[in-house]
Amino acid sequence: MTSQLPISQWRVLFFSPNAGLWQTSQLEHELANGLAQRGAQVTVLRCKGLFDSFCPVMKANLLIPESSTKSKKSTCKSCQREEAALRGAARYTTLWIDDFVDTEARARVELAIRHRRGNTDWYLFHLFIYVAPQSS
């Protein structure tokens, strides 16, 4: 027989860095709020600019990795406005992935991206970076 864990003991983490993809981020937000309202401890991991060189929101807005920095910044700011609106109505905790990635890790990713520019096989691209847990 299995025992059911009470919702008050649930620890739920949503990886939801793309607030600018409102079709999915709104659903994630509603689910996270609903779980939090019922007593679960919910955390949503968001982006506050870490992926400013290129991200799924930029792709959805028809940008490409070679698009202008101005276009990318505009998309990033719009995404951040969407995130702020969601956070303003949130009953859950928000953390930012940016706070867990140090400058060395970011530099390695940026270097890898620069070497990939112009390639069309991004679906084959994998880069694993260890992010050390922060000490309390």
The tens digit of pLDDT for each residue in 19-76 reads 999 889 999 999 999 999 999 999 999 999 988 888 899 999 999 888 999 999 999 9
Say which CATH number the domain at 65 has.
Answer: 3.40.50.11710
Q: What is the rounded distance in angstroms from the CA atom of residue 57 to the CA atom of residue 38?
A: 31
Position 89 in a domain: yes
Residues with Cβ < 8 Å from 60, sequence gap 6 or more? 20, 21
Position 106 in a domain: no
DSSP 8-state assignment for residue 19? T
Q: What is the rounded distance in angstroms from the CA atom of residue 15 to the CA atom of residue 51?
A: 14
Position 123 in a domain: no
What's the structural domain count of the chain? Answer: 1
The reported pTM is 0.75
Band (1; pLDDT cuts 50, 70, 90)? very low
Nearest Cα to Cα of residue 26 among 82, 93, 95, 105: 82
| Structural domain harbouring 76 | 7-100
